[in-house]
Amino acid sequence: MNRYWKYAKPYLPAFIIGPIMMIIEVIGEVVMPLLLSKVIDHGINGGRGIPYIVTMGVTMVITALCMMAGGVGGAYFAVKASSGFANDLRKDLFKKIQTFSFTNIDRYSTGSLITRLTNDITQVQNMIQMLMRLALRAPGMLIGALIMAFILNLKLALVILCVIPLLTLAVYYILKTAFPRFRLMQKKLDALNAVTQENLVNIRVVKSFVREDFEEEKFSRANQDLKESTVSAMRVVIFTMPVVTLAMNVTTLAVVWFGGKQVIVGGMTAGVLTAFINYVGQILISLMMVSMVILNGSRALASYKRIDEVMNTEIDLTDEQAVKKEATVKDGKIEFRHVYFKYYKNNEKWVLEDINLVISPGETVGIIGPTGSGKSSLVQLIPRLYDADRGQVLVDDVDVKDYSLVHLRNGVGIVLQKNVLFSGSIMENLKWGDEDADEEAVRQAAQYAQAHGFVSSFTEGYDTELGQGGVNLSGGQKQRLCIARTLLKKPKILILDDSTSAVDTATEARIRESFKNELSGTTKIIIAQRISSVIDADKIIVMDDGKIVGIGSHTELMQTCRMYTEIYYSQMDKEVTAS
């Protein structure tokens, strides 16, 4: 609970004043029937006459206006406090997610994180608001009305006292049954979302295999499930209203019976009875409010738990232990010493096994190997997107864990296999590499990546908006923009993870050419499928099944590495020799 205190603290005044204002409303509510009873008993029956009645009337109007002020004020502060709390929490939650390592991110699905940042926070916010408005009001009303009732007539008050525990028990039982059903309902909702989302993402596959009916059946099941779980939950909840109403009615009847008898024998005035009946109503309404709060509270509790889960996530990749935080990457030397790695710690099989490797500054290194051999995994250890499980990864003879993450990642540029660009203009996207770059620098980076050509052909050039309704970019164009973006960073180490798979051979050759000429000081690591992409590298690393099975130049490997020659021959046409 302490963790969340800091979100409440700035709004403490609001948190306090709000409920206090609600109390004003409560006091008024309790007082009003009392005033009425005075009108009846003193004004009418007591013979104090019209002036007295009018005075009481004016008092009541003033009370009513005070109550309004209280209620409005209460609402205002409730909104202010709850929205402030929720906003700060939301921002911090987002910030927390930004600190997640790749492994942390992998654990939560995108959809789940989005839900936690939006819906779950909203639930908590609504809960706080409701609490503020009712937390004092409901119990306040309850206690106030009870006190009044006791003051007015002790015996009758005891009647009420009998009903309350029974009612509480009934409501408690209802809630207990409802909570697990609500949880189930949420799950079914998630399932429906998942089916829908998948269907939308895969719509082309659905259409080309003509699976519309199949998909509809899938959906239908999720649809029905959701309905059934909702109905099941609601069926329990709807007992609340009748139960409370029943209690209210029974109590009213009992009060009228016992109280009526007392009035008949003269032990109580009619006015008191009237007021009493009003208080009964109030007490039961306040009980109902409490049960509403608890009901909604259980939903908010589930949300709170989900938020807490994220906030409590241990970040498993930080630079807190780093001892050389000021160091930057200067030369671009890379070394792997007995590195072992796997993504899922429970798996038996290593994704990378006993990797030993030295890459000198400025070298161009190619990595090649069958699908799933660990190429991407290997390079992702260099900028510490993941950490090795055993062994060491060193950059410039310093363990990567000893750099500050910012310096390390500024020095190591990696173009990931999956190309992601963001809403905004092309220029904005490219500037992710360097916020302060001027247009010339951006253009130059684009040129090296062979992207400048097509960007210039767009009517708006670099100001072209990317995103829905924007320009349709082909796969190859996307890839080239991603390369340009990384180039702009001017990293000492540049890693391309299969970043030209959608680019044709000729263009790719030009990219390699510009790398050779313009980025001679940069250590370049290129993962590729085509031999032609790596044939000119200073060193080629051949991987298979998580191990390095060959290192050397093209000529060396042709003589020593069987895997390499297989790959080579699978690509080269023996009749045409590359020039």
Partner 1 sequence: MSTISDKRKEELLQRYGSKSASHSKEGGGLKTSHIRMRPGGFGGPRGPHGGMGGSKPKNMGVTMNRLLAYIGRDKVKIFIVFGCVLVSTLSNLGGSYLLRPIINNLVSQRTIAEKAGNLLTGILIMAGIYATGVICTYLQQRIMIGVSQNALVRIRKELFSKIQRLPVKYHDKHTHGDVMSRFTNDLESVGEMLNNTLPQVFSGVLHLAGTVILMFVTHWVLALVIMVTIPLMVWAGGMIGKQSRKYYKDQQQALGAVNGYIEEMVAGQKVIKVFCHEKTVTEEFEILSDDLRQKQIKAQFFGGIMGPVMGNLSQVSYALSATVGGILCLISDFDIGGLTIFTNYSRQFSRPISELSMQMNTIFSALAGAERVFEVMDETPETPDPADALTVCSEANRVEGARLIKGEVTLKDVTFGYSPDKVVLKNINIKAEPGQKIAFVGSTGAGKTTITNLINRFYDIDKGQILIDGIDIKRIRKDSLRSNIAMVLQDTHLFSGTVRENIRYGRLDATDEEVVTAAKIACAHAFIERLPEGYDTVLEGDGANLSQGERQLLNIARAAVSKAPILILDEATSSVDTRTEKYIERGMDQLMTNRTTFVIAHRLSTVRNADRIIVLEQGEIVEQGTHEELLAMKGRYYQLYTGAVELD
The Cα–Cα gap between 452 and 449 comes to: 8
The correct pick among 17, 34, 76, 536 for binding partner 1 (CB under 8 A) is 76
Q: Is 285 in the site for partner 1 (CB under 8 A)?
A: no
Q: Is 150 in the site for partner 1 (CB under 8 A)?
A: no
Measure CA 99 to chain center: 13
Stretch that binds partner 1, among 163-171, 172-180, 196-204, 517-525 (CB under 8 A): 196-204
Structure tokens at 389: 């499980």
Q: Is 277 in the site for partner 1 (CB under 8 A)?
A: yes
The correct pick among 141, 148, 174, 278 for binding partner 1 (CB under 8 A) is 278
Structure tokens at 414: 């990696």
Q: Is 263 in the site for partner 1 (CB under 8 A)?
A: yes
Q: Where are the alpha helices (DSSP H) in 398-438?
A: 405-411, 426-430
Q: Is 64 in the site for partner 1 (CB under 8 A)?
A: yes
The Cα–Cα gap between 173 and 183 comes to: 17
Per-residue x/- track, 487-506, partner 1 (CB under 8 A) = --x--------x--xxxxxx
> For partner 1, which is the closer residue by CB, 360 or 507?
507
- For the CB of residue 391, give the shortest distance to partner 1 in the complex, in Å: 22
- For the CB of residue 335, give the shortest distance to partner 1 in the complex, in Å: 21
Q: Is 563 in the site for partner 1 (CB under 8 A)?
A: yes
* Residue with the two structure tokens 């297989």: 566
> For partner 1, which is the closer residue by CB, 337 or 490?
490
Q: Is 570 in the site for partner 1 (CB under 8 A)?
A: yes
- 219-222 contacts: CB < 8 A, separation 24 or more? 219/192, 219/195, 222/188, 222/191, 222/192, 222/195
Q: Is 168 in the site for partner 1 (CB under 8 A)?
A: no
Q: Is 318 in the site for partner 1 (CB under 8 A)?
A: no
Q: Is 95 in the site for partner 1 (CB under 8 A)?
A: yes
User: Which amino acid is residue 31, in one-letter code?
Assistant: V
The Cα–Cα gap between 511 and 449 comes to: 6
The Cα–Cα gap between 509 and 21 comes to: 74
Q: Is 468 in the site for partner 1 (CB under 8 A)?
A: yes
Q: Is 286 in the site for partner 1 (CB under 8 A)?
A: no
Site for partner 1 in 108-147 (CB under 8 A): 109-111, 113-115, 117-119, 122, 129, 133
* Residue with the two structure tokens 């070394």: 335
Task: Report DSSP letters for 229-259, one per residue.
Answer: HHHHHHHHHTTHHHHHHHHHHHHHHHHHHHH
- For the CB of residue 478, give the shortest distance to partner 1 in the complex, in Å: 5
> For partner 1, which is the closer residue by CB, 334 or 466?
466
* Residue with the two structure tokens 């799933």: 372
If one counts every other C-beta atom within 10 angstroms of the C-beta of residue 131, the result is 20
Phi-psi region of 274 (alpha: psi -120 to 50; beta: other; left: phi over 0): alpha
The correct pick among 26, 39, 141, 484 for binding partner 1 (CB under 8 A) is 39
Per-residue x/- track, 352-381, partner 1 (CB under 8 A) = ----------------xxxxx---x-----
How far lies 136's CA from each of 25, 143, 161, 257, in Å?
10, 10, 20, 32
The correct pick among 27, 34, 143, 206 for binding partner 1 (CB under 8 A) is 206
